[in-house]
Amino acid sequence: MRWRILAKIKSKKPIERRREIIKVLFRNRGLRTTKEQQEFLNPKNPYRLTPQEVGISLVQLNKAVKRIKKAIKNKEKAIVYGDYDTDGVCATAIMWEALNKLGLKVMPYIPQREEGYGLKVDVIDQMAKDGVKLIITVDQGIVHSRQVSHAKKVGVDVIITDHHEAGKKKPPAVAIVHTIKLAGAGVSWFLANWLVKKIDSKKRLSGLDLATIGTITDMVPLVGPNRSMVKFGLEAMRKTKRPGLLSLYQFAGIKKEKIDTYEVGFIIGPRINASGRMDDPMEALRLVCTRNDNRAISLAQKIDQKNRERQELMKQTSLHARELWLKEDGQSALIFVYHKSYEHGIVGLVASHLSNEFYRPAVVLAPRKNHWVASARSIDEFSIVEAIRELKDIIGDHGGHRKAAGFNVAPEKIEEVKQRLIKRAEKSLDKSQLTSKIEIEAEVESTDLNLAFYQQLEKFAPFGIGNPQPIFASRQVKIANLKRVGADNQHLKLRVNGFEAIAFGKGELLPQLSMEKPIDIAFNFLLNQWNNQKKLELRLKDIKINERQRN
């Protein structure tokens, strides 16, 4: 693993060193002025965010308000047209709840994965036949010019809310509420809040808890308005009265007062996502929206079971895809695998797993009816969505972000797509970029680490994309009390310069370590709270036994 040290601490005295380290953390996050630093530490209440601050056009917001007011007045039928991932489910729930509260005759619609991502002409036609006059998209729509044009022809207006990268052609929607500064649920929440303020300011918008789930799980940078949303939204999640979320916490074994970005991103979000991957995403929507305790328990239990099935299927498919790539290729700058046995609901997770393990872009495909569905994940050094857009002459619907995207492709075009993507990656990436890296804030000494310093670090929370939990490095540290722990002895526990430390997944290093040989470590500095006891400890991210061997 490559280490990239972002700064060097020059001060000698412990107090001065700790102050300098905090300054380094600000600088590493691009926060150079006192004003920027204070706004980061004390983010604005999201209810007070302005359209300019979130990158949304005021003109488009007002167009959306005007059209929705008309729909309420004329008692028109409306649909909130969502997406089946966690961000899309949460965005749908937020918008549907707000519009329903404002008196609009509105129903939610989330397509199943078999239908595919985004607006579909046949679905729009059916909605038009059912008397629908207005569609509000959430977490999608910005690249669907053809579908929006068709909706217009059959008498259905469309308001787009989306956060994906826009294409060259703007859809002919009556309003486009779009920004890349927020997640889909964040855009939905901002418009919903704006609607409530402009149409009936006496009402109070809920949904910040759901906006937080969508924001964290969609892995958008937790800076600026997203930081505001998550900082306040985590507290909303801890205090939520939604029976669905409370039941989900219970089945997941989470104490609601302990909920943070990890619990949302790795425990709560995947369960909501499992419904769309393995079954009907409307079940997840019903879970987060229901006000009935018994209904919530039943739905949470069902979704928890679907998540277990998802975990097992993902494990099996990842192993198969890994072995398939190593057998067929194993060295290209881009992983490209497909097999008729793969389920399209989990190929994104498999691509993410492969990309993380081998540190290179990964594309995994699964069959669906008369075409194949591809999900792609990438690394910092390679924009996968740009590479996919270069294939528009031979692929179907496509879209996404720099590090996550997807597309449809006909069976006879798969090999051509594979060769073009690999060629593009080989041209853009050299071997040095295909080794996983770890960005380290600074090298520190054991005397820098104490409770006061930890408390200063915690002011930078919530951590996530764009604001990672600080990783530090220490050189030539002495170790003691070495032992393997965990169900399969896969973890390593030890003492480092007086601190207890845990290294997850590094149990195999034990034979190479010795109390007589100092090591270099990269680590998070944490406070472990257990049975009313608080203890500072290190969570090791990487170990260098010597300069020639990096693990």
Instruction: List 376's β-bridge partners, or say none.
Output: 363, 405
C-alpha distances (whole Å) from 263 to each of 258, 266, 419, 488 are 8, 6, 39, 24
Global pTM value: 0.87
- pLDDT tens readout for residues 248-257: 999 999 999 9
Displacement of CA 118 from its chain's centroid (Å) = 19
The C-alpha atoms of residue 229 and residue 193 are separated, in whole angstroms, by 13
Instruction: Supply the DSSP string of 302-319, one letter for each residue.
Output: HHHHHHHHHHHHHHHHHH
DSSP state of 482: E
192-208 burial code (b ≥16 CB/10 A, e <16): bbbbbebbeeeeebbbb
User: How far apart are alpha carbons 423 and 408 in whole angstroms?
Assistant: 20
Going from the N-terminus, what domains does the chain have, and what CATH number goes with each? Answer: 2-41+437-550 (2.40.50.460), 46-207 (3.90.1640.30), 329-434 (3.10.310.30)
d(CA 479, CA 396): 56
Secondary structure (H, E, C), 340-397: CCCCCCCHHHHHHHHHHHHCCCEEEEEEECCEEEEEEECCCCCCHHHHHHCCCCCCCC
| Number of Cβ atoms within 10 Å of the Cβ of 487 | 6
- Residues 138 and 192: their CA atoms lie apart, in Å, by 11
Instruction: For the chain, 551 residues long, give each residue's pLDDT as a single digit of tens.
Output: 889 999 999 999 989 999 999 999 999 999 999 999 999 999 999 999 999 999 999 999 999 999 999 999 999 999 999 998 999 999 999 999 999 999 999 999 999 877 777 899 999 999 999 999 999 999 999 989 999 999 999 999 999 999 988 888 899 999 999 999 999 999 999 999 999 999 988 887 889 999 999 999 998 999 999 999 999 999 999 999 999 999 999 999 999 999 999 999 999 999 998 887 777 899 999 999 999 999 999 999 999 998 998 899 999 999 999 999 999 999 999 999 999 999 988 999 999 999 999 999 999 999 988 899 999 999 999 999 999 999 999 999 888 888 999 999 999 999 999 999 999 999 999 988 998 889 999 999 999 999 999 999 999 999 999 999 999 999 999 999 999 998 888 999 999 988 999 999 898 899 898 888 899 999 999 998 877 788 999 999 999 986 544 44
Tokens of 67: 């059209």
